[in-house]
Amino acid sequence: VYKRQVYDHRRREYFQLKTRKVALCTGPDFKDDLGPGKIPAEMSELTLIRGMNVIFPALFRSNASFAAKMRKGKESRFLFVVPWKNFSIGGTHWQECENQMPTWSEKKLVKDSFRKLMQLAMPGRESFPEILSEHVGFVPGKRRNASDQNAAGQILAHFRLIDREETKRGDVLQVVGVKFTTAFDVVLKSLRKLFPGVGIHDVLQFSTLPCGSPPDDPEQLIVNYISRYQKILNEQLVRQLFSLTGSDLPKIVEEYLRPHIQSSQPLTEAEMYVGLTSFCVREEMTVHLDDLIFRRLFPDCPELPPREILEPLAGCMARLLMWTAEQKNLELERIGTLRGLAK
């Protein structure tokens, strides 16, 4: 039985935990000495990968995204810039590190490196905006070997379950990684690892899957959604919504579509897209109409949607973002110049 004294910062008091099995879901501090003994060899092969994003005034007038990969000898660096409101967010390369707190000189080195990357990516540009702030993040990854060309390739592709005691039936399990499919997925696999002799099965059905869960059978999941939401959306609209949102569909239907039902009739296509627009603005920070149309709702459509759909979407964004009539017209004009309006 493991005993640990834990401090509750909200209640400002200590209490004791007793357990026979422990699953540790950790962030960057995945190598802390937690009592089971030495760190397993599998964990000693891992290290921290540190990255930095920088924020600066908008780089492009068109609110466009930008990405480039520059090579110098055998080394390659990837640079991306995405727009958000009146700013641009730039992503720099990842670096292997041991210390979580970068020094001032390291931060300056990364910022200088970012400026050089920008100059390489856009050689015709004479000046670049001043960096307003930088944000450091850490993820666990593999140590670099001779075949690796950059740290981005070292980041763990998925979470890893590591036995801290290095025994076949260890009682202390550590979950290390950055891509947790869902909390349920992590818990289920951890339980199976901690209790190998117990038949632990997935008891969830398609009707109760957590949002974001990867379906084993997408078509069966769609059929379930068609049946469940037949009073809200017809089959064609369910399939359209699923192609855009996957298994996040229940959350969007319940929170953004069902409240708009005014009669016994299902929602029209325009009404569905208005609800989806509200979701994109409130939860995905979409602030421009071209971002909504070209990247989120109609990414594969060769032309803009018809005006009977486009106008309600622009009106929805205008209400949520408190645009003036002039701002709304500018947003419509901008996408009209980027792609011919459908008649």
Each residue of 69-93: pLDDT tens digit?
A: 766 666 666 778 888 878 888 876 6
As beta bridge partners, residue 172 has 22
Dist CA 314 CA 323 (whole Å): 10
Rg (alpha carbons) of the chain, rounded to whole number:
25
SS3 (DSSP) at 133: strand
pLDDT attached to residue 342: 38
Residue 18 is predicted with a pLDDT of 81
In this prediction the pTM is 0.51
Angle (CA) 92-98-101 rounded to 5° is: 65
Q: What percent of the chain has pLDDT over 70?
A: 77
Q: What are 90-149's pLDDT values in tens digits?
A: 876 677 776 666 666 666 766 777 777 777 777 777 777 788 887 777 777 887 775 655
**How far apart are the C-alpha atoms of 261 and 5, rounded to whole Å?**
52
pLDDT by residue (tens digit) across 165-192?
776 666 888 888 765 556 777 888 888 8
* Better pLDDT: 184 or 332: 332
Lowest pLDDT segment from 5-9, 58-62, 155-159, 210-214 = 210-214
* pLDDT-derived band at 327, boundaries 50, 70, 90: very high
Would you place residue 211 in the very low, low, confident or very high pLDDT band (cuts 50, 70, 90)? low
Q: In sequence order, which residues have a C-beta less than 8 Å from that of residue 145 and are 6 or more positions away?
A: none
Confidence bin at 343 (pLDDT 50/70/90)? very low
* Through-space distance between the first and last CA atoms of the chain, rounded to whole angstroms: 72
Mean residue pLDDT across the chain: 78
Helical pair 325-338 and 307-321, crossing angle rounded to 10 deg: 140
φ, ψ at 256 (rounded to 5°): -120, -15
**Position 315 confidence tier, pLDDT thresholds 50, 70, 90:** very high
Pairing of strands 95-97, 46-57: antiparallel
The crossing angle, in degrees rounded to 10, of helices 307-321 and 269-284 is: 30
